[in-house]
Amino acid sequence: MNTDRFGLAGDDYVPDVAGDSTAIVEAFFDHLARSLRDAALPGGLFSGMRASLVELTAADAERCVDEPARYNLEMTLALVVAYRALQPRLGREVTIAALRAAFVEPLGEAVQAGTRAMLDAAEDPFAALVAVSKTREKYAFGAGFGFARTVDDAESYHLDIVRCFYHEVLVAHSAAELTPVMCEFDANWIGAIDPAKHGFRFDRATTIGLGGTHCPFHWDRTES
């Protein structure tokens, strides 16, 4: 069975931003509908969310500074429309928990398995994941984010995200409390890293969504 669903192991890896974002959004709404089917929600609520997403994405089109931003906008606004529809009915905490599960869990196993397969197969797992990160910085995140590479050598790669597109969109829609949901998606690939096996560790002490001034994504070898 091919566990590298996202093609991470290839030397010519380029993320399929359109396909990945569509999969996340579809899985998000599907998971919400299944997990909340016993919550006595109005009929048509989820189809209404999808319609609202189309409208809100069109209204925010000026935020599409490049191709990645177009898909990142849709993913972020999916959280916004669901939050607006569910929070008055379920309450803030229950809604955020439902959104977190629906956004993080559906593709979690596939992301973790693909990352682990790539690391296990790599001659140099540290270099392989750093290369994936740099590719994603360009093709999956793009100009909507601000990056600072404070260390980039053979032993360490320290990337600081100093501007978060997701957070800016959520703040603009009075939903900054949802930014940690976006942050938690990363736990899927972070969990694939085994320092003892792969020879490096990853640290992210905080994020902008958790109140930090930046998001430190730091990879360091644990052995030479």
Residue 9 confidence (pLDDT): 55
Is residue 6 predicted with pLDDT exceeding 70?
no
Compute the distance between CA of residue 121 and CA of residue 135 in angstroms, rounded to an integer.
Answer: 19
Q: What percent of the chain has pLDDT over 90?
A: 92
Q: What is the DSSP letter of 11?
A: T
Residues 6 or more apart whose Cβ sits within 8 Å of residue 97: none
Query: Between residues 172 and 43, which one has the greater pLDDT?
Result: 172
Q: Is the pLDDT confidence value at 3 over 50?
A: no
Per residue in 81-98, pLDDT tens?
999 999 999 999 999 999
DSSP string, 38-76: TS-PPTTHHHHHHHHHHHHHHHTGGG--SHHHHHHHHHH
Give yes or no for residue 132 having a pLDDT over 90.
yes
What is the pLDDT of the chain when averaged over all its residues?
Answer: 94
Residues in the chain: 224
Task: Tell me the pLDDT tens digit for each residue of 182-215.
Answer: 999 999 999 999 999 999 999 999 999 999 999 9
pLDDT of residue 1: 42
Res 154: pLDDT? 96
